Amino acid sequence: MLIGLIYFRMVRQSADLMLSGRRGGPLFGVALVLLRMAGLGGVLIVAAIQGAGPLLAAALGLLIGRLAVMRRAV
């Protein structure tokens, strides 16, 4: 669940950076997108190597993290 919380908070942060008018903000936002994609990919690969149970648990954690972040946003 922690990975889901971190991932979706980073989604919001990267979107804010890409839309900001600050110098270097959009570039840093794109870098943050690449970082979070690589991190999530690594976590899911490690979970897949361990088997179906850990992979399903990781997917459920992402879903719960998304729900928690979206609930705070509304």
Indicate the domain borders of the chain.
2-73
Which residue intervals of the chain are DSSP H helices? 2-19, 25-50, 52-73
Per-residue pLDDT, 48: 95
The one-digit pLDDT tens for each residue of the chain (74 residues) are 788 888 888 888 888 888 887 787 888 888 888 998 999 899 999 999 999 999 999 999 888 888 888 887 66
